[in-house]
Structure 1
């Protein structure tokens, strides 16, 4: 199968890779029908995350389940699914409470599960915030908590998120699209890759 591979900062290629296999009871194999490129991917593309060379890229993919592991009970073969940008185990204390963006097990060495391996470091002037009585909220959006409501709004015609899609491309055009998006060329906002 073809995949978009991060080779080094500012370079991706489309390569043939081995078909995935079920390795753990909680795994699922999804035949992708589309995927995306958005700002989160550009962080990886530009080398600003801990993504290592050889990482397969793809953001918020949509597809059809081909196979599930023995522990998967919520999905079955031929279900159509979307994979959110943050990954989660689904069974830790935070996931059970709906805060999948703060999964305790997906990345035990760091906080959160954006892209499955994100690591961000910021220095905040906490003293200045305290002196001014300011508060801040942080964290990733728990998208899995609201995705069904959003899906229903899209089906009902209440929400129309497709307006943000600026380009629709084939996987062969992905390297050029990553470069153009990174350079903010031609109004790139969200790219959909069709497989």
Structure 2
């Protein structure tokens, strides 16, 4: 086969498009690959020609130098593709299928996978439960911001779109199924959102907007989205959300102005460990969002926490933050009997149902997150603009499938 171009992390603030090997059905040594995974055979895998591959806020954490990611790590875990090769152990996925790839890599065989906990598969990452493409300390599976990518356990992991022509008509929406739509939906579900709920979403980036979209889909009566970025708040307003501008102070008083009471039924953290305090020019204060949510969520409520937290952050504001240890007001959460759900979203728990909602025009997630297609060569620009707060979800188009989208 021919070559393969991919987007790689080169160092803090720098990504480049590089040449890498075309995938094979064996995990080779390379940047970030766990030594125990080198030489791992993948007869159960499929090779995809990438249709769409998105830039994610989780990628941005690495690109900012806020993780221990090594140079030349190929990025990208939000993948949609067309199958071009299958391994000898693949039975049901076929060449030509158009598919969505959950960002979680899961074997389908372990105890956790059998319990639908695919975000913490026990067999794909030698260091810890859970894995993802192109991500630091996740086993070293090569990222999908590339022309071609290998997906292991293809029969289990791949969600096949039932009609290719219909799928291509909605491809920007369907491209959100690999991560941010299920992740936002998971945040809403675990926060207990239902018909008539009042919901606070911290963060108006793509995951926050996906969580807000999900809350509306689940029947929330009021969805309030908070951020410091005016363009992102305007994007939230564009599909019916109320907004809180955190440059003007904390959220509780602003929530009371909207709802008449200083609390909500359900809270969602779509920010994670790079959270800032309140007010114009606020500095980083990583526990702020979680403490806010405990303050403003009604007693007996729940917090969905899809925002990313890490155990190693070289850029943390102090020694504790560098280890992921935050100063949480856990007593507040205990006193109010609040429930917390953290960790990777188990994408396969939700992606088929969300696909059907998209295909039947029940939701338009691409417009809500302002999905914008760019070329693979434009990836460095996309990362730079996203880092500056662009109110867009950048979707890379390595092979021209999105030219008509």
Mind listing any 5+ residue stretches in structure 1 that lack a counterpart? Answer: none
Aligned to 1:20: 23
Mind listing any 5+ residue stretches in structure 2 that lack a counterpart? Answer: 27-41, 139-308, 312-323, 399-405
Tell me how far 1:114 sits from its aligned partner.
Answer: 4.2
Aligned length: 193
Tell me how far 1:134 sits from its aligned partner.
Answer: 4.1
Matched position secondary structure for 1:31: strand
Which whole-Å CA distance do the structure 2 matches of 1:130 and 1:38 have between them? 30
Aligned to 1:59: 77
Aligned to 1:112: 130
Bigger CA drift: 101-110 or 119-128? 119-128
Counting helix residues as a fraction of each chain, which structure ranks higher?
A: 2
Contact 1:31 1:64 in 2 (8 A): yes
* Matching residue within 377, 380, 386 for 1:181: 386
Higher RCO by CA contacts (8 Å cutoff, separation 6 or greater): 1
Aligned to 2:325: 123
Aligned to 1:137: 341
Contact 2:122 2:128 in 1 (8 A): no
Classify 1:156/1:135 alpha carbon distance in 2 versus 1 (closer, same or farther; 3 Å).
closer
Contact 1:35 1:58 in 2 (8 A): yes
Aligned to 2:14: 11
Which whole-Å CA distance do the structure 2 matches of 1:76 and 1:3 have between them? 24
Which whole-Å CA distance do the structure 2 matches of 1:50 and 1:27 have between them? 28
Aligned to 1:155: 359
Kindly provide the CA deviation profile for residues 97-117 of structure 1, in whole angstroms up to 9, marking residues without a partner as x: 211012112223123224454
Aligned to 1:72: 90
Q: Report the TM-score when normalising by structure 1.
A: 0.88
Tell me how far 1:30 sits from its aligned partner.
Answer: 0.7
Matched position secondary structure for 2:366: helix
